A and B are shown apart, each in its own frame.
Chain A
């Protein structure tokens, strides 16, 4: 089974994103809406005002909602997208069978029906899931949305050659015919063994193995309907046929796009989407530093990536109470950590690994990611606090100022037979300044007890496939430490832990995120979890896995990530939902 969640931070090609620039301020090139300032004053907020409740609630429709993206979409095609923010945004023009509730805080973790009338109805063995579509659903061109379109859409996701970016859950879990390669290459193949559509409103998914959490998979963009007649393969992303409240007006791949109301979307069939703005505009490849200034000035409303402010703007925003009041410090379900490889000598000795963990300057690690607000909370274990099953514990106390316990570290170094320290390498992704900072910080911290690190930057595109994720490379090149990070696709202990602690995901050919965890007990516990349908009962198990991994000292946790989001001027109905871990784009509106 391969569940490969990845919300890994969006690669922004950070190497060369410089260029700064000005907020529209005095006389910029941007469109400055005349009364922007007054409106901002009208809805004066405070820090974290949109974290647990709706800020500036509104039901008033109209206006243009402006997004900016410092990079570009992986794809707009529902079959081919895997960025966290795209899954948030895609709900504006696509409707899956079910969806995360658009609501502030933990409430947003609930799955609610979308195209379907209700959540999926599982068979007793959890191997068959049935959904019934609502009546009166239409595409933007007025043609009806049928169960067959959903079936077709899911079958597309199987074609990994045409759509390499999207998640593979459906392809892996449904009972597809042997050698099925998607609707283009296996034209006309009968796929009823995987999906059946007894009528236009009913769709039945058939799994290879039982899975009690199928609704989580059904909320993914893969179940958003695609009319077969309008499908143009790799070019479909140029004009995705909308099933949601907005449809594409103009789309220039790599530059930006605009969306207008979909006249054939009927609010009566859609209880989840307030659809407040009349129009949505998205600019791509916006200079990251410029973007923050424009957000502060109200020139644009939302940084669509949800990555938070840049390093440069951070100082400005946090030191000015007025600016700080316009931000929200969203908690992510993401852990930034460093793998400690027991396959590299002398880290095969647990005491040497413990020495590394004790010698780590946690405050320095936090600092490397930007400190408390933009970096996150100092992590003492794997599971982030918002993931069910989280328990707070600390096996390697780092002293009152969190800069490490050098005495303990030396103690363990002596135990492991390296009293004067040792030399090893630390890998990181060259394009990520924060990982570079982390590597440098660890080099400093471990240097205090004689552990000498050499920095090894690798291109992020090949990081897991060729370097840090390839076991033989790790051994040959003595990559004792490798900077890493992980976020889950949906709020669930399994989704978060399995990919980074299950030793069976490690492949000799490389490519897995788990670089260092090979603990038989943990593998057993993971298997145990699969047969337990009750999520409540699983919670202690997740904590147990977390502790077991930490005991082995094969993962050096860094920070549980947070993002400092700028609440764009003039936004209404703003809230961060736990499922999106950024502003929930379905709810947003703008003042007029």
Chain B
């Protein structure tokens, strides 16, 4: 494999592809994804379940199913290419240089070990310290993520924590080695709304404190709205729109993003309003439709003169780093947004 020269970005993905051959066909979970992320910045990756957003981040950490995955492309982390790096090297980075916060803290923590033990374990992998030192560190971390009486709760088991506390503990565990890259996979999905807000606040504070790069993966645009600098919208294993948070929220150009925005519950709308669902179901990653993956559900597909079902659209830059993967000309997209979609979102 020829490896392109390193980049100046802290994290850069180049044409990453993660495919899984199965009995039923080749599953293209991630199909040519590229993005970059700098220290101290936050990237939100948004998409429905099955869009490949989780696999992407697992791929970065090397946690995808290695047995049967076919991986190509490049992942550069702080000057090191991870796809071609030996497993041991990647493992050495995991937990220390890059860490992950998982969606469901109850199932993501081992039910048989105490919270403290699990944090201590994480800490001692990368820091040769005694158990008691590690324990002190664990209590310290628990305190920093806002768990009351950490010196006592450190010996509790995950099931003895409430949902929010568990997620805090999960974060404490992920941050225990002071990682430079933190990936949070649906960090708040399993939590109720008030706790969600607390956790998001906590993550923002901690990111500032540790100055790490943060990737937030979610299907909920509301979550990324608060935290992200940039947003990447994934659909069918591909990036279909990428831009700054403002771009995505105020000038989205892809019909799918419009749909996402339309289905987002918003405080400024009447609670009685029905959400606007996106019609149809996400594509199977085995039999990706020919042409634009979104075309079967796209209300504007007819405007491309058959292109959308015939050809895969390229990800093209629309303006100032805002990239869109759509056959419609940028002007037409903007006019539809301005005239049809935006007013509907605002008024209904």
A and B touch in the complex (CB under 8 A): no
Q: Which residues of B contact A (CB under 8 A)?
A: none
Q: Which residues of A contact B (CB under 8 A)?
A: none
